[in-house]
Amino acid sequence: MSPELSRFDLLGYRRAVAEYNRNWQATDETLYDLCRRFPGHSDQASVKAKLWIIGRTYATGIERKIPTQNTQGSSLSQLSEHILSRRRKAEFVFRRLAQITEPLTPEKLRRIVDAHGQFVRLLQPLLRHRQSPRSFASKYMHFHCSAVPLYDTYAVTALRHLYPWQEAFEIFDLPASADEEYTWHAMRFWQLYQDAQKRARWVTVKLLDYYLLRVAEDF
């Protein structure tokens, strides 16, 4: 993207990074460490721990999409059982994801979009009306692979404002398994990522996610 179209605010980014480091870095490092210690999806205890802690810390809303059995925690219990029953597919997705590291590239982003779509499809049969768990999937996957851009209302709102869609943003063909909404979001995120790398010393997906939260709150 040409400099005149860049909407990246370096000062705002620096403020967001400082605030993130003060208030949220320790929480996120705990979640990254949890997924480093328990990267697999074949053990019930570790899968439950990751679902409960990530799902609720990041208010993913996944529980509202799963029919309750009228017992405490029944939605997340069903989710863990669902993933365990499809452990081979889950292990395949997350093993491939573990090979991706920052800095991002278009090819890495395409692989992330593909993995995200596969995980979304794995979860959908459990959800009411086969809703898309794209936000939960992105956040859960992010703590297994920090290169995964997060998807939520704040990030979507901010990116759509900063980067109105252009055909040039389509940097790869959609993988067959892709969730389209997440794909367009990831492609917009790539525009921000490039702009930030040109102007800031230290850029990560997580720091940009927090920056987008602050941008969205200013609307």
What are the extents of the domains in the chain? Answer: 3-39+87-217
Query: How confident is the model over 31-70, as pLDDT tens digits?
Result: 999 999 999 999 999 999 999 999 999 989 899 899 877 6
Beta strands in the chain (DSSP E): none
Would you mind telling me the total number of residues written for the chain in this entry?
A: 219
Structure tokens at 60: 């993913």
pLDDT at 39: 97
* Nearest of 74, 89, 149, 99 to residue 124 by alpha carbon: 89
Structure tokens at 40: 């697999």
Structure tokens at 152: 């939520």
Residue type at 181?
E
The rounded mean pLDDT for the chain is 94
Residue 21 C-beta-side C-alpha neighbours within 13 Å:
8
For residue 61, the surrounding DSSP H or E stretch is: none
In this prediction, residue 130 has a pLDDT band, given cuts at 50, 70 and 90, of confident
Q: What whole-number distance in Å separates Cα of residue 145 and Cα of residue 97?
A: 7
Q: What percent of the chain has pLDDT over 90?
A: 87
Residue 208 C-beta-side C-alpha neighbours within 13 Å:
32
Structure tokens at 51: 């679902």
pLDDT at 2: 41
Q: What whole-number distance in Å separates Cα of residue 56 and Cα of residue 170?
A: 33
Structure tokens at 177: 């398994």
